[in-house]
Structure 1
Amino acid sequence: MKPRLLKNSAVGMIRLLSFLLLMAVCLAGCKTSRQASSSLTKDSGCLSSKVQLTVPHKDATLTVNGTMKLKSGERMQISFLMPIIRTEVARMEVTPDDILLVDRMGKRYVQATRKELKDILPKKADFAHLEKLLYAASKPNGKKTLTGKELGIPSLEKGQVEFYDFSDKGFSLSPTQLSGKYRKVELKELLEMLMSLM
């Protein structure tokens, strides 16, 4: 009984995290960041950081760590890892043309083009603006934490996404490949399910 309860709680958490990630990217176009000098530049074409997502859930606060990798002008991936065993539980991939959300535990994904998301995304929420936001966050006085309230999710006012430990060291970043075990779901279906968790 306990393992099943733990699994259900973890699945619910991943669903909630995926929703928050989608909202963070969708609403990133609405935010501005402070400017400052930094040794991190776009020269290498790469930016990486650690990510910490904190979400209030019922009577507890859930914290999940992960990584962010950005290849300038091409692709950004955020990967969230299960505590202790460090297995990927969720991934979000954003390119100039589309967004991919992967639920590793539920073996499902949502893939949508910017055109399909035009009614959800603000006009400024494009890849170039997301990239600008992340580089601004990497600066010494940059805004590294976004709260649920700032992301436009008042019910998750105490939730937050924090980016830290930035690096511009080079790396390779390939598109996410999913096996036939993964089931594609519609964005509307996923959002309805995630909203019911709040």
Structure 2
Amino acid sequence: MNVKNKFRTRPFMPLLCLMALLIGLAGCKTSRQAGSKSNETGYLSSKVTLTVPTKDAVLTVNGTMKLKNGERMQLSFLMPILRSEVARIDITPDEVILVDRMGKRYVQASRQELKGMLPKKATFQHLEKLLYAASRPGGKNTLTGSELGIPSLEKGKIELTDFSTKPFNLTPTQLSSRYQKVELHELLEMLMSL
């Protein structure tokens, strides 16, 4: 079964894996100090490769990460060859929006709603520190599911490459009325069934 068919049969699966990895990324600990922000421009972008083994094959999805310091971080994942967006995660200090472009569904949750399921260190500021640390020379830019504390995705990994600090335009995710909102408890049930 090719990747394209995987997305048709279980379009929400990649989005759930991304959410699980992101939760782990935001909550994982690093022994390295983030350092001074004096070298940071306020903008950070990179290419992202997410690899998740499934029962039938290994799913690899490429995309981009954009971070505007203190405001917003977006992960966008693209379908191979066609390069159209299949999933997006939009994170601000106050909320998280997960968009399944293929299934026309999304989850929007505030930090307060996510508080019970996220580790205490899972803050926007901690996520920024991890991303800036990964972008530095010699920084750890590949994290496995095991390192992220996600045993069900122990062989999965997320890799950040080709970092840039050039300014860019980063707008909030806007969704049309064609998208169906999925409640947080439904997302939790789907995550638990992985």
How far apart, CA to CA, are the structure 1 residues paired with 2:160 and 2:129? 14
Among candidates 83, 89, 94, match of residue 80 of structure 2: 83
How far apart, CA to CA, are the structure 1 residues paired with 2:31 and 2:62? 23
Gaps of 5+ in 1: none
Among candidates 27, 30, 44, match of residue 29 of structure 1: 27
1:166 and 1:142, CA in 2 relative to 1: closer, same or farther beyond 3 A?
A: same
Matches within 5 A, 1:1-150: 7=5, 9-11=6-8, 14-27=11-24, 28-32=26-30, 34=32, 41-42=39-40, 44-150=41-147
For residue 73 of structure 2, give the secondary structure of its aligned residue in structure 1.
strand
Give the counterpart letter for 1:127 in structure 2: F
Give the counterpart letter for 1:168 in structure 2: T
Is the CA contact (8 Å cut-off) linking 1:93 and 1:100 kept in structure 2?
yes
* Deviation sequence 1:113-169 (CA, Å, 0-9, x none): 000011011111110110010000001111111111122221221100111110000
How far apart, CA to CA, are the structure 1 residues paired with 2:50 and 2:11? 11
Does residue 1:175 correspond to 2:172, yes or no? Answer: yes
1:150 and 1:12, CA in 2 relative to 1: closer, same or farther beyond 3 A?
A: farther
How far apart, CA to CA, are the structure 2 residues paired with 1:35 and 1:142? 11
Gaps of 5+ in 2: none
For residue 116 of structure 1, give the secondary structure of its aligned residue in structure 2.
helix
Q: Which residue of 1 aligns with 2:181?
A: 184
1:35 and 1:116, CA in 2 relative to 1: closer, same or farther beyond 3 A?
A: closer
**TM-score under structure 2 length normalisation:** 0.90
Is the CA contact (8 Å cut-off) linking 1:49 and 1:167 kept in structure 2?
yes
Q: Which residue of 1 aligns with 2:152?
A: 155
1:151 and 1:68, CA in 2 relative to 1: closer, same or farther beyond 3 A?
A: same
* Deviation sequence 1:37-65 (CA, Å, 0-9, x none): 9xx931x2100000000010113111100
**TM-score under structure 1 length normalisation:** 0.88
How far apart, CA to CA, are the structure 2 residues paired with 1:165 and 1:47? 10
The CA deviation at 1:19 is 2.0
Is the CA contact (8 Å cut-off) linking 2:20 and 2:191 kept in structure 1?
no
Is the CA contact (8 Å cut-off) linking 2:12 and 2:103 kept in structure 1?
no
The CA deviation at 1:36 is 8.8
1:134 and 1:6, CA in 2 relative to 1: closer, same or farther beyond 3 A?
A: closer
